[in-house]
Structure 1
Amino acid sequence: MENHHILRIKNLTRSDSAEYTFRFLTDDGGLKYSAVAGVTLIVTVKVTPSVVVTEGQRVTLTCSTSCPLTDNTTYIWYQNRRPLTPPESQHKHLVLDPVSSQHAGNYSCAVKTLQHINSPEETLTVTGTWISAAAAGTAAVLLAIILLSVFLWIR
C-alpha cells in the first residue's frame, strides 16, 4: 500500500507497553521525516450510565483502548480480580441487565494476549430500590412539614 505504513505486533505482551514513534529514511540514509508524538496502548473500563446505580437498571461496562484493535479481539472481564466465565466475558462490552447487588464490586478488563494487558479497576456501586423509595418518602415528609410550617407562620 502506497503511503500506508503499519506496525503490527503479534503476541502482544505487557512488556510491549510503550510509546511507539516512527521515522522514514531516504535511500541514502538521510532522515526524511520523523514523528513528533507516538502511540501508546492503554486499556480502561468505562461504566454507563454511572458507577453508582440502582438495582434493576441496565449497566454497560466498556473495555476501551487508546488505539483501535481488530473486531476479533478477545477481552477478559474481571469482577473483584476473578475472571468472569465465558461467553459474557469475551466481548468489549459487558452488559448487566438488570443489575443487582451481587454485581457490585471492582471491575477490570484485559485484552487477551500471552500476557494480558489489564485495565485499572473501576468500582461499581449498586444501591437497593428501597433506599431510593425511602429517600423519596423522607423528602415528601420534609416538604409537607415545611409547607405546613410556612402556612402556620403566615396565619
Structure 2
Amino acid sequence: MGKKSAEEMTEAAGRVVYHEDTKNRHTLNIKNLKKNDSAEYIFRLTTKGGGPKQSGFSVVLLIVTGLKVKFTPSAVVTEDQRVTLTCSTSCPLTDNTNYIWFFNSRPLTLTENQNKHLVLDPVSSQHAGNYSCAVNTQTDLRSPEETLAVEDGTGAAGTHSVIC
C-alpha cells in the first residue's frame, strides 16, 4: 500500500470531503470506497505563531476489503443437510448491518432479518446454484459468486437451479 498525496485525494472526483470544526476536529470522509483507497493516510497540523513552528502528525492505516461467501460445512452438500452461507469480510461490520443475498444473480427476498448468515435447512436440489452477497447500502459492490452443489442420496451432484 502506498501513501496518498493531497493531490491524489483531490482527484477522487467528489468522493473525498474534508471537514474542520470549531472544536479542532478534522475529518476526512471518503464515499464509495474502493480497494485502491487502501493506504496510509497522514494528517499533519502546522501552526505558526509568535513562537516556534509546531507540527502534529496523525497516521491512519485504511485497508479496504471485499465481501466473500463461505459455506459451512462445505460447498458440496447432500439433500436434507443443513448448510449455512456466511457473507464475510476481514474488517468487522456492526451487528445491525443489513445484507442482501443473491441467488443466480437475482436478489433473494427473505422474510426474516437479512443478516450475514443465510441458513438453508433442509437444503434441496432447488438450492443448488450461484450465491453472492452485498451490504444493503452498497448493492453495487457484491461478493464474487460462489457455487453450491447439492447431491442427492446417491451421491450425484447437481448445480441446476429453479428460479423462484
| TM-score (normalizing by structure 2) | 0.64
Tell me what 1:119 maps to. Answer: 143
1:48 and 1:7 mapped to 2: Cα distance? 39
The one of the two structures with greater contact order (alpha-carbon pairs below 8 A, sep at least 6) is 1
Is contact 1:88–1:94 with CA below 8 Å preserved after alignment?
no
Tell me what 2:57 maps to. Answer: 32
Structure-2 change in CA distance of 1:48 and 1:66 (3 Å):
same
Alpha-carbon deviations, 1:4-62, whole Å to 9, x = none?
A: x99776xx64xx22314332424437463545x53113111111111111111110000
Q: RMSD value over aligned CA atoms?
A: 2.7
Aligned length: 123
1:88 and 1:8 mapped to 2: Cα distance? 33
State percent identity of aligned pairs: 55
Tell me what 2:11 maps to. Answer: none
Name the SS of the counterpart of 1:131 in structure 2.
coil
Structure-2 change in CA distance of 1:7 and 1:73 (3 Å):
farther
- Which has a greater percent of helix? 1
Tell me what 2:108 maps to. Answer: 84
Is contact 2:100–2:139 with CA below 8 Å preserved after alignment?
no
| TM-score (normalizing by structure 1) | 0.67
**Any stretches of 5+ residues in structure 2 without a counterpart?**
1-25, 48-53, 157-164
Paired AA for residue 32 in structure 1: F
Name the SS of the counterpart of 1:78 in structure 2.
strand
Paired AA for residue 19 in structure 1: S
**Any stretches of 5+ residues in structure 1 without a counterpart?**
133-155
Name the SS of the counterpart of 2:130 in structure 1.
strand
